[in-house]
Amino acid sequence: MKTRFVLIAIVLLALVFGLSTLTVAKEYIPGSSLKVGFIYVGPIGDLGWTYAHDEARRICEDVFPWLETVYVESVPEGEEGLFIDKLILEEDCDVVFTTSFGFMDGTLDAAQRHPDKIFAHCSGFKRNANMMTYMADFYQIYYLNGLMAGALTKSHKVAYVGAFPIPEVKRHMDAFAIGVQEVDPEAELHVRWIYEWFSPTAAKEATEALIADGCDVFAFTEDSPTVVQVAAESGLPSFGHYSPMYNFGPEHVVSGQIAHWEAIYLDFLAKVYAGVYTARNLAEVNYWWLLKEGAVEIGAKPGMLINPVHEDELRAVTVNDPILGTINVWDLVMKRLEQMSDASMVVDPFQGPVYDRKLNLRVPQGLRMSEFELTTMEWAVEGIVGPWPGEP
Amino acid sequence: MGWETWFIVTLSRTLAYGTPLLLATLGEIYTERSGVLNLGVEGMMIMGAYAAFSTAYTTGSPWLGIVAGALVGGAFSLIHAFASITLKANQVISGLSLTMLGLGLSGVLGRGWEGRPLPASIPEITAPGLSKIPFLGPILFEGQNLIVYFSILLVVVMWYILYRTRIGIAVRAVGENPAAADSLGISVNKVRYLCTIVGGILAGMAGGYLSVAYRPAWTEGMTGGMGWIVIALTIFAFWNPAIGMLGAYLFAALYHLSFRLQPWVSPELLKAMPYAFAIIVLIAISRGTLHKKMGAPAALTLPYSRGEE
């Protein structure tokens, strides 16, 4: 009885493995219809990160008649391999996008398992002949929002509710703080961490704690409009994050960060379709897309760069810029936006000299940070107040 | 800032955040007192949150939303009641399924509802005169809403019913010794059904509080595990509504302080604090001598069939 069971098990295993190796891996033929799978870390209804990726997916499907897409949502980090295999073996996908940092190693493993398929991993740094990386980063927008926050704070205390103390969030806080201090050198950026990507209750209590501590302008990294709502209830200005959050505080949302992942997806998929990118030439392909590529947008909602409710206040505050001379903050934001959107990018938030809050010189005079430095930065700039786990 | 302001803000936030915990805990206390363990609190809460938000959005009345949340929570608990009381299925499995069903169903139904601000949410009220009372005034009578007061009133009422009325005796008897209760002419299944529904109604209302009062918006998964805290609080409370209130407020205070104290204490440590508190209390309760005197209802999780014992 027992040997029979073992025999059956061996036959079954042999069948499963045999079939999976027998499956003829067919490579995508440029110009033919393309099937693309997305692996999402959250639910598509989060109004944040995953929502933005899914909107981009739908735009791609509308734009390209030869494109078919499928997605899997709320995939736990660490289990992506299983879902990638499903997309490739069962759904027959030619390209798979994985949209969370934590999917990095699983995506690389899958890329090596399926050398004829194309993979793209968002926000990581590991690549392969058939796996590229991509990211639409907000640091320039945070800096621009920081300029406005510096003009709007009366208590000289600006607040930031952060998700996790990782380089991405720290970079955004630093850029925001640099903007704040460019306009109001006295201002401090008060920081609280919630250790969640999505937690309305944590975001609410963190915001209430910051209000109680006297902060009067709010920015954040969390996947719900909670911070905007709580600030608006107290009549305080804030900056939306990830999706347009204007509706949650029409009188109080000054501006914000909006992602346009479709810019990257459209470009990449068009190149796959044209045969420019194949499963053999992606080892050096990395989309690090910013304002000038149109992957990110500044605004309270698309098309509304700055909420007109705050125009007078922003025009009333002026700064002395060594190059631009005396300029009001409204014009300064517009000027900097124009400069950073231009291909030559004559300004950057992290323009040396930049010191961290322990007074170490981090970016020397006349230099900027490389993409690698930006994606691995752990330090806090001067003016940031509060805990900073992992501070070097 | 003076210590007084510190206390006022902390206690005021404690009431605001503790209210949904309290409502759902009170409900679960009654459910478990009757011998039914319902691990579906999270599912009932999120269904309540979705129902409350969609109703408040379409009708424009947040109060109708709260009512809808309570009704949907109650109706949803019937699934668990039917499975565990009538069909005598395993209560742990049935409750867990209810949580999964609630999270999934609300996610599907809620598609397209995210990103919409409510036209009107439950108003925060400031009682003129009363809010001028030193210290207590700003905590109790400034910026709180009627549901907060309702939940405190409910503690008194539910405590009184449980310990001072015949209904309470029936509930406790059914949870401790259903055979004896049956022989006294109490309908075990009826009591258990009603208590499970009470649990569902209050969990649904707690969810509604989250989506139309605490933070007026719908997002998938917005209860964020609160239902599990409620299960722990029910044990912490020794199945007593008054201690349940203490537990809910203690947890809420620690939760708020975990953000307030960040400039001085490591945020990782603070993040763990409310949960560490829950675990320590659970360990203390399960080991202490109190356990025998004030332990779980003897018939908790046991289905009742007449004449089997």
- Please write the tens of the pLDDT for every residue from A165-182: 999 999 999 999 999 999
Least confident of A10-24, A135-149, A372-386, B292-306: A10-24
pLDDT, average across residues A139-165: 97
B204/B303: higher pLDDT: B204
B259–A205 CB contact, under 8 Å? yes
- Please write the tens of the pLDDT for every residue from A248-270: 999 999 999 999 999 999 999 99
In a domain, B196, yes or no: yes
Nearest of B60, B82, B106 to residue B207 by alpha carbon: B106
CA distance A210 to A110: 44
Asked if the model's pLDDT at residue A7 lies above 80, the reply is: no
A193–B262 CB contact, under 8 Å? yes
The neighbour count for residue A317, using CB atoms within 10 Å, is: 17
Percent of chain A predicted with pLDDT > 70: 94
In a domain, B107, yes or no: yes
Question: Which CATH number belongs to the domain containing residue B127 in this structure?
Answer: 1.10.3470
B131/B159: higher pLDDT: B159
Domain coverage including residue B98: 3-294
Confirm whether the ipTM is greater than 0.85: yes
Would you mind telling me the total number of residues written for chain A in this entry?
Answer: 392
Q: Bridge-partner residues for A39, per DSSP? A: A72, A98
Instruction: Nearest chain B residue to A161 by CA: give it.
Output: B259
Q: If you ran DSSP here, which 8-state letter would residue A308 be given?
A: G
Please name the amino acid found at residue A217: V
Q: How far is CA A363 from CA A165, A372, A379, in A?
A: 21, 13, 11
In a domain, B304, yes or no: no
In a domain, B301, yes or no: no
- Please write the tens of the pLDDT for every residue from A41-63: 988 877 788 999 999 999 999 99
CA distance B32 to B195: 8
pLDDT of residue B28: 97
- Model confidence at A197, in pLDDT bands (50, 70, 90)? confident
- Model confidence at B115, in pLDDT bands (50, 70, 90)? confident
In a domain, B198, yes or no: yes
pLDDT, average across residues A118-143: 95
pLDDT, average across residues A88-114: 95
- Burial category of A278 from C-beta neighbours within 10 Å (exposed 0-12, middle 13-18, buried 19 and up): middle
Least confident of B12-26, B105-119, B202-216: B105-119
- Please write the tens of the pLDDT for every residue from A362-380: 999 989 999 889 988 999 9
Residue A239, classed as helix, strand or coil, is strand
Mean pLDDT of chain B: 92
Chain A hits for B5, CB-CB cut-off 8 Å, are 212
Residue A385, classed as helix, strand or coil, is strand
First vs last C-alpha separation in chain A: 63
- Model confidence at A22, in pLDDT bands (50, 70, 90)? very low
Q: What is the DSSP string of chain B?
A: --HHHHHHHHHHHHHHHHHHHHHHHHHHHHHHHTT---TTHHHHHHHHHHHHHHHHHHHS-HHHHHHHHHHHHHHHHHHHHIIIIIS---HHHHHHHHHHHHHHHHHHHTTTTTT---S--PPPB--TTGGGSTTHHHHHSSSB-HHHHHHHHHHHHHHHHHHHSHHHHHHHHHHH-HHHHHHTT--HHHHHHHHHHHHHHHHHHHHHHIIIIIS----TTTTTTHHHHHHHHHHHTTT-HHHHHHHHHHHHHHHHHHHHTTTTS-HHHHHHHHHHHHHHHHHHHHHSTHHHHH-S-TTTT----TT--
Least confident of A8-12, A132-136, A239-243, B95-99: A8-12
* Best mutation target, A58, A164, A173, A201, to test chain B (most B CBs within 10 A): A201
CA distance B41 to B27: 9
CB pairs under 8 A between A and B: 105
pLDDT of residue B78: 97
pLDDT, average across residues A264-288: 96
- Please write the tens of the pLDDT for every residue from B213-255: 999 999 888 998 999 999 999 998 999 999 999 999 999 999 9
CA distance A287 to A265: 10
- Model confidence at A15, in pLDDT bands (50, 70, 90)? low
Chain A residues within 8 angstroms (CB to CB) of chain B:
43-47, 51, 165, 192-196, 198-202, 204-206, 208-209, 212-214, 224-226, 229-230, 243, 247-248, 385-387, 389
In a domain, B290, yes or no: yes
Q: What residues contact residue A344 under an 8 Å CB cut-off, 6+ apart? A: none
- Model confidence at A8, in pLDDT bands (50, 70, 90)? low
- Model confidence at A208, in pLDDT bands (50, 70, 90)? very high
A198–B224 CB contact, under 8 Å? yes
- Burial category of A118 from C-beta neighbours within 10 Å (exposed 0-12, middle 13-18, buried 19 and up): buried
In a domain, B228, yes or no: yes
pLDDT of residue B273: 86
Distance from CA of A31 to the nearest CA of B (A): 34
Q: Please give the tally of structural domains in chain B.
A: 1
In a domain, B283, yes or no: yes
Chain B hits for A45, CB-CB cut-off 8 Å, are 107, 110-111, 113-114, 219-220
Mean pLDDT of chain A: 92
- Domains of chain A by start residue, with CATH: 29-136+261-289 (3.40.50.2300), 139-258+297-385 (3.40.50.2300)
pLDDT of residue A335: 96
pLDDT of residue B294: 67
Q: Which among B1, B13, B219 has the least Cβ separation from residue A200?
A: B219
- Model confidence at A109, in pLDDT bands (50, 70, 90)? very high
Our CA angle for B178, B179, B183, nearest 5°, is: 115
Q: How far is CA A225 from CA A138, A369, B5, in A?
A: 17, 31, 28
- Please write the tens of the pLDDT for every residue from B22-62: 999 999 999 999 999 999 999 999 999 999 999 999 999 99
Token output for A294: 């149109």
B255–A205 CB contact, under 8 Å? yes
Percent of chain B predicted with pLDDT > 70: 96
Asked if the model's pLDDT at residue A242 lies above 90, the reply is: no
CA distance B97 to B79: 10
